[in-house]
Chains A and B, each alone.
Chain A
Amino acid sequence: MRTVSRTIAALAGVALFATGCGGGGDSGSSTSTPEDPAAAPTAEASGPPTRGDADLVIWTDELKIDAVKEVASGFAEDNGISVDVQAITDTQANFITANTAGNGPDVVLGAHDWIGNLVQNGAIDPLQLTPDQLGEYSDVAVKATTYDERLYGLPYGVESLVLYRNTDLVPEAPATLDDAFAAGQAVVAAGQAESPFNLPVGELGDAYHMQPLYTSAGGYVFGRNAEGDYDPTDLGVGNPASIEAGKKIAALGAGGSNVLSSSISGDNSIALFAAGKAPFLLSGPWARADVEKAGFGYEIQPVPGFAGAEPAKPFAGVQAFFVASKGKNKAFAQEFVANTMNTPEAMQTMFDMAKLPPALTSLQESVGATDPRLKAYLDAANAGEPMPAIPQMAAVFEPLGKAYAAIVGGADPTQTMTATGQTIADAIG
């Protein structure tokens, strides 16, 4: 009996050795047979993001994944390859880490203000579009995706802040911000609303949403150098123009007319407007779905400026396709972005399914003609300034936001702006 059990033990051991060896052989190779039909793209929204084994891996987020899958499966069929489109959260940080390790995607979708950080980490390659092809896109889109005189992203969508108005509460369009504030306060005084003007401030402030007011009141964040790029040495926060702007904002806060309040934050501003508790909302195309669901009559217009002041220039955000520098299939990635995505048909598909105002000029004209609300989004975006993509911008958002929150809460604008300017200058180094 002992001999039999020993033999069984030995055989079992050998069998397991063999399994291990056999399994080891396959783990190194990747699968990519030309005969594969376009593999059904998979969506992975949880767990640490990794690339799969497909011939082209694209990372995007939940809002755009359907649109990208549509275009990508066409590309896959044309070339007889498999494509994997994955929905990732916290995309920028995950992409940089994965790309440096060689595990990243081949194409990634993101906002243009990532470009500075991505280039700093050597994570993306520039694109080589001809000047003719580039001329097809709107100026603000091209300006936003150009960095250090190279084109780093293919723009497909532009967005910026617009002013939503509840026409049931305020039938007339305000010509200036002061008109809007007055109308909002009248509505609140009449008891029909709780907040006169929904501009998200919160405890930590929001420099992005305050930008139209800040620019109309005369302030700027970074100046431009001779080549037209943002100049990190020309910081606008802390100089006299920004202090004047701070004073104007303080007059709207707790120390003044109480139009702006830190109780309104990114969490509740859209929800309150959609619930009919506020006549005005300063937000972007991302709020459109909620507002339409609410069902009341609403209008959109580009953000007006203060009376007798400069026009408001909200930050324009451009969504673009980037090509990873260490992707495993750079040839397919460049082909997809520069040739397949760069066509009116693909851009039309992106717009139809992701609903983002398009960056292609011809598409802007055609969709703007049929939908006046979309035209308002496009006009606002084309009039905006692209958000600075330089890495130094990351040092600006938080302190400037906190400064706004303090000013709206009643702090002295001169002291606040000067101190914030000093903090940012120290952080930039």
Chain B
Amino acid sequence: MVQTIDRTDDIRSPESPPARGGRSTATSVLVVKVVALGTVIGLAFALLPTLLAQERWGYLTALLLIVLAIVATYATKRGMPAKYLLPGTLLLVTLVVYPAISTVQLSFTNFGDGTRTTQEQTVAQIIGSSVVQSPDAPRYNLTVGTTGSKTDGPFAFLLVDPTNDDQSFAGTADGLEELEDAAVTDGFVVEADGYELLTPVEVNAAAAALAEFTVPTDDGAIRQLGIRQAFEGRTTLQYDQDAATITNTTTDVVYTVEQQGDREYFVSPDGVRLSDQSWQANVGWSNYGRAFTDSRISGDFFKIFVWTVVFATLSVALTFGLGLLLATTLNDPRVRGQKLYRSVLLLPYAIPGFISILVWSGFYNRDFGLINDLTGLDVNWLGNPTTAKAAVLLTNLWLGFPYMFLVTTGALQTIPADLKEAARMDGATGFMSFRKITLPLMIVTTAPLLVATFAFNFNNFNIIFLLTEGGPFTPDNPTAGGTDILISYTIRLAFGAGGAQFGFASAIAVLLFVLTGVIAALQFRYTRALEDVH
């Protein structure tokens, strides 16, 4: 009898979970899913009140979209590719795309030191800072009272004049009047009819409402000073909103808004600025224009760009060369103590770069440094542009070769041993087999890493800044130094002399991004050509 094998069971429903043990797996998976999704939704709910209170509609929408995307992807059974792609995409969007978009937005403004606030805030700060105390008025001891609520008022200043026999006054929005029937202890009003007194903490909590409150007098107004004092003073500046001018009431000078450079200031008819405070404004493409037309930048740019490319290329080449050399040497099975060598050679990679680079900069000191001491030379390493460049490359070699050593060791293991054996049988010497077999295979495997290392060193701010701060400067050009790369140069331009200029720095960052991206894309295309050979 031929037993027909019943295959229908297998082909019936490939998606139904296997029986018995499978059911508890399905339940635990379901529980994990619910816990994870619930946490995500719970986090969103936790953030909602804060976002609503601060009226951040953009962030709120983004948050809701993200939560929706997560729930939609993981709660249903469909969309399998999305389940794998979603976390990476979300991280890419939030950590790469969004900051890039913010940088581009910032590059069209003049945001920086002196332009961090809006025009209203700047005007309010200028006016608020212009209060001048009346020289003859006394300092009052203050107790804040209210006839209504403790947070919104209406408030009254219950004042005691310590210079005038502790006479007490009540100051309201209508003016100052004498206060009868007030209990004064130690120079402060402790009880007054019709007023509820605020404790220091309540006074602090009501600060927003109290900031607007002043008691008008003949000579100005009485204002709060801290918790326990009040003084009489005048604002010397007044803002005319319709005309957008500020008038100095003592000198009668009218300050109007004038554009100076990429900022607007309040300037008197004589050209004297009222204050160095400006406000954030949109400047369009002028930051980009400045990057291309500023004579200081265009003069030095090409020289620095060439050195940046040379520095990045040499860094990659030298570290890869040394790493590969060490890896092939130590890969030989005849070498003893491989693990010991490997651990010691990894040390430069393990020490934090900040510390090691600063220590290296001490080595290069002409009179007291280790290198001149040991070799007996008297080379001014960091004072001469050429030797400073050599110093930077040397230190970068020391910092970078362990990484390449690790990578090439790993790549070497992947090359099958029979390839080398076959080459040996065909009569290739050691070096020829290395050059023709090992090296091309190595480069194909490590090409993406080399491109990435190039891009990293293209913008390797740390080593330049910590070792030489841009390198030796000539007296007629203090902005571009001998070892400056593009990023250190532009950071000096953006954050050096004129205070922090974030708008300009963002424009430079975008330009560098485009530059590095183009170079990296070209390199990838070239390395893909390598792969086609194989």
Q: Which residues of A contact B (CB under 8 A)?
A: 1, 5, 8-9, 12-13, 15-17, 19-21, 23-25, 27-28, 32, 34, 55, 79-81, 93, 96, 100, 116-117, 119-122, 125-126, 128, 130-131, 148, 150, 194-195, 203-204, 261-263, 265, 267-268, 272, 325, 329-332, 334-336, 338-339, 391, 394-395, 398-399, 402-403, 405-407, 409, 411, 415-416, 419-420, 423, 426-427, 429
Whole-angstrom CA separation of A402 from B204 in the bound complex? 49
Taking CB atoms, residues of chain B closer than 8 Å to A12 are 31, 34-35, 38
User: Could you say which of B38, B114, B226, B478 contacts A398, with CB atoms under 8 Å apart?
Assistant: B478
Central interface residue in A15, A79, A128, by most chain B CB within 10 Å? A128
The proximity string for B residues 103-147 relative to A, scoring 1 for CB distances below 8 Å and 0 otherwise, is 000000000011011000110011011010101000100000000
Whole-angstrom CA separation of A15 from B233 in the bound complex? 58
Taking CB atoms, residues of chain B closer than 8 Å to A416 are 475-476
Sampled A-B contacts (16; CB under 8 Å)? A12-B35, A20-B41, A20-B46, A79-B227, A80-B201, A81-B201, A120-B276, A121-B277, A126-B131, A128-B225, A194-B368, A262-B366, A332-B204, A335-B227, A399-B497, A409-B383
Q: Which 8 pairs between the two chains have the least Cβ-Cβ distance? A: A20-B42, A16-B38, A335-B226, A20-B45, A416-B475, A263-B367, A395-B497, A122-B125
Q: How large is the interface on B (under 10, 10 to 19, 20 to 34, 35 or more residues)?
A: 35 or more
Taking CB atoms, residues of chain A closer than 8 Å to B275 are 119-120, 148
Central interface residue in A120, A122, A272, A409, by most chain B CB within 10 Å? A122
Q: Report whether A339 and B228 are in contact in the complex, using a CB–CB cutoff of 8 Å.
A: yes
Taking CB atoms, residues of chain A closer than 8 Å to B478 are 398-399, 402-403, 420, 423
Whole-angstrom CA separation of A150 from B126 in the bound complex? 12
Q: Report whether B368 and A272 are in contact in the complex, using a CB–CB cutoff of 8 Å.
A: yes
339-356 of chain B: CB within 8 A of chain A: none
Given contacts A32-B201, A419-B475, contact A339 B44 (CB under 8 A): no
Q: Report whether B42 and A339 are in contact in the complex, using a CB–CB cutoff of 8 Å.
A: no
Q: Report whether B47 and A24 are in contact in the complex, using a CB–CB cutoff of 8 Å.
A: yes
* B89 at interface, CB cutoff 8 A: no
> Who on chain B is nearest to A399 by CB?
B478
* B200 at interface, CB cutoff 8 A: yes
Q: Report whether A122 and B229 are in contact in the complex, using a CB–CB cutoff of 8 Å.
A: no
Whole-angstrom CA separation of A325 from B127 in the bound complex? 13
Q: Report whether B469 and A203 are in contact in the complex, using a CB–CB cutoff of 8 Å.
A: yes
> Who on chain A is nearest to B115 by CB?
A121
Q: Report whether B499 and A120 are in contact in the complex, using a CB–CB cutoff of 8 Å.
A: yes
How many A-B contacts are there with CB distance less than 8 Å?
208
Of the stretches B48-56, B404-412, B507-515, the one at the interface is B48-56
435-494 of chain B: CB within 8 A of chain A: 468-469, 472-476, 478-479
Given contacts A32-B201, A402-B475, contact A100 B498 (CB under 8 A): no
Central interface residue in A34, A121, A339, A394, by most chain B CB within 10 Å? A121
Q: Report whether A128 and B210 are in contact in the complex, using a CB–CB cutoff of 8 Å.
A: no
Whole-angstrom CA separation of A204 from B121 in the bound complex? 39
> Who on chain A is nearest to B122 by CB?
A122
Taking CB atoms, residues of chain A closer than 8 Å to B383 are 203, 262, 409
* B360 at interface, CB cutoff 8 A: no
Further contacts, 12 of them, CB under 8 A, given A100-B116, A130-B139, A334-B227: A23-B45, A79-B200, A116-B276, A119-B129, A121-B277, A128-B133, A150-B129, A262-B366, A334-B225, A338-B226, A423-B478, A427-B497
User: Could you say which of B48, B211, B224 contacts A24, with CB atoms under 8 Å apart?
Assistant: B48
Taking CB atoms, residues of chain B closer than 8 Å to A261 are 367
Taking CB atoms, residues of chain B closer than 8 Å to A419 are 475-476
* B153 at interface, CB cutoff 8 A: no
Given contacts A9-B30, A28-B49, contact A406 B474 (CB under 8 A): yes
Q: Report whether B261 and A204 are in contact in the complex, using a CB–CB cutoff of 8 Å.
A: no
Q: Report whether A1 and B23 are in contact in the complex, using a CB–CB cutoff of 8 Å.
A: yes
User: Could you say which of A17, A28, A415 contacts B41, with CB atoms under 8 Å apart?
Assistant: A17
Q: Report whether B114 and A121 are in contact in the complex, using a CB–CB cutoff of 8 Å.
A: yes
Min CB distance A83 to B, Å, is 12
Q: Report whether B42 and A16 are in contact in the complex, using a CB–CB cutoff of 8 Å.
A: yes
Taking CB atoms, residues of chain B closer than 8 Å to A93 are 500
> Who on chain A is nearest to B365 by CB?
A263
User: Could you say which of A79, A131, A394, A405 contacts B135, with CB atoms under 8 Å apart?
Assistant: A131
* B199 at interface, CB cutoff 8 A: yes
Taking CB atoms, residues of chain A closer than 8 Å to B210 are 331
Taking CB atoms, residues of chain A closer than 8 Å to B524 are none
The proximity string for B residues 381-398 relative to A, scoring 1 for CB distances below 8 Å and 0 otherwise, is 011000000000000000
Q: Report whether B121 and A122 are in contact in the complex, using a CB–CB cutoff of 8 Å.
A: yes
User: Could you say which of A19, A130, A194 contacts B367, with CB atoms under 8 Å apart?
Assistant: A194
Q: Report whether B46 and A27 are in contact in the complex, using a CB–CB cutoff of 8 Å.
A: yes
User: Could you say which of A126, A262, A334 contacts B129, with CB atoms under 8 Å apart?
Assistant: A126
Min CB distance B395 to A, Å, is 15
Min CB distance A53 to B, Å, is 13
Given contacts A331-B210, A415-B475, A420-B475, contact A263 B368 (CB under 8 A): yes
Taking CB atoms, residues of chain A closer than 8 Å to B122 are 122
Min CB distance B368 to A, Å, is 6
> Who on chain A is nearest to B125 by CB?
A122
Q: Report whether A9 and B31 are in contact in the complex, using a CB–CB cutoff of 8 Å.
A: yes
Whole-angstrom CA separation of A276 from B499 in the bound complex? 39
Q: Report whether B116 and A16 are in contact in the complex, using a CB–CB cutoff of 8 Å.
A: no
Whole-angstrom CA separation of A28 from B225 in the bound complex? 28
Given contacts A5-B27, A150-B129, A262-B383, contact A16 B475 (CB under 8 A): no
> Who on chain A is nearest to B117 by CB?
A122
User: Could you say which of B35, B126, B361, B473 contacts A402, with CB atoms under 8 Å apart?
Assistant: B473
* B43 at interface, CB cutoff 8 A: yes
Min CB distance A334 to B, Å, is 4
Given contacts A121-B113, A395-B498, contact A411 B475 (CB under 8 A): yes
Taking CB atoms, residues of chain A closer than 8 Å to B296 are 426
254-310 of chain B: CB within 8 A of chain A: 261, 275-277, 296
Given contacts A116-B276, A128-B225, contact A16 B35 (CB under 8 A): yes
* B148 at interface, CB cutoff 8 A: no
* B207 at interface, CB cutoff 8 A: yes
Taking CB atoms, residues of chain A closer than 8 Å to B472 are 203
Q: Report whether B38 and A406 are in contact in the complex, using a CB–CB cutoff of 8 Å.
A: no
Q: Report whether A125 and B114 are in contact in the complex, using a CB–CB cutoff of 8 Å.
A: no
Given contacts A117-B113, A325-B125, contact A267 B31 (CB under 8 A): no
Taking CB atoms, residues of chain A closer than 8 Å to B30 are 5, 9
Min CB distance B494 to A, Å, is 13
Taking CB atoms, residues of chain B closer than 8 Å to A427 are 497-498
Whole-angstrom CA separation of A100 from B500 in the bound complex? 14
Taking CB atoms, residues of chain A closer than 8 Å to B329 are none
Whole-angstrom CA separation of A24 from B121 in the bound complex? 31
Taking CB atoms, residues of chain B closer than 8 Å to A80 are 200-201
User: Could you say which of B139, B201, B469 contacts A34, with CB atoms under 8 Å apart?
Assistant: B201
> Who on chain B is nearest to A419 by CB?
B476
Q: Report whether B499 and A20 are in contact in the complex, using a CB–CB cutoff of 8 Å.
A: no
Q: Report whether A128 and B231 are in contact in the complex, using a CB–CB cutoff of 8 Å.
A: yes
Taking CB atoms, residues of chain B closer than 8 Å to A100 are 116-117
* B362 at interface, CB cutoff 8 A: yes
Taking CB atoms, residues of chain B closer than 8 Å to A16 are 34-35, 38-39, 41-42
Taking CB atoms, residues of chain B closer than 8 Å to A117 are 113, 499
Whole-angstrom CA separation of A262 from B84 in the bound complex? 58
Q: Report whether A429 and B261 are in contact in the complex, using a CB–CB cutoff of 8 Å.
A: yes
Central interface residue in B44, B122, B201, B227, by most chain A CB within 10 Å? B201
Taking CB atoms, residues of chain A closer than 8 Å to B199 are 34
Taking CB atoms, residues of chain A closer than 8 Å to B207 are 329-331
9-61 of chain B: CB within 8 A of chain A: 23, 27, 30-31, 34-35, 37-39, 41-50, 53
Min CB distance B192 to A, Å, is 20
Q: Report whether A329 and B38 are in contact in the complex, using a CB–CB cutoff of 8 Å.
A: no
Given contacts A128-B225, A339-B226, contact A120 B277 (CB under 8 A): yes
* B87 at interface, CB cutoff 8 A: no
The proximity string for B residues 172-211 relative to A, scoring 1 for CB distances below 8 Å and 0 otherwise, is 0000000000000000000000000001110111010011
Taking CB atoms, residues of chain A closer than 8 Å to B233 are 128
Taking CB atoms, residues of chain B closer than 8 Å to A329 are 204, 207
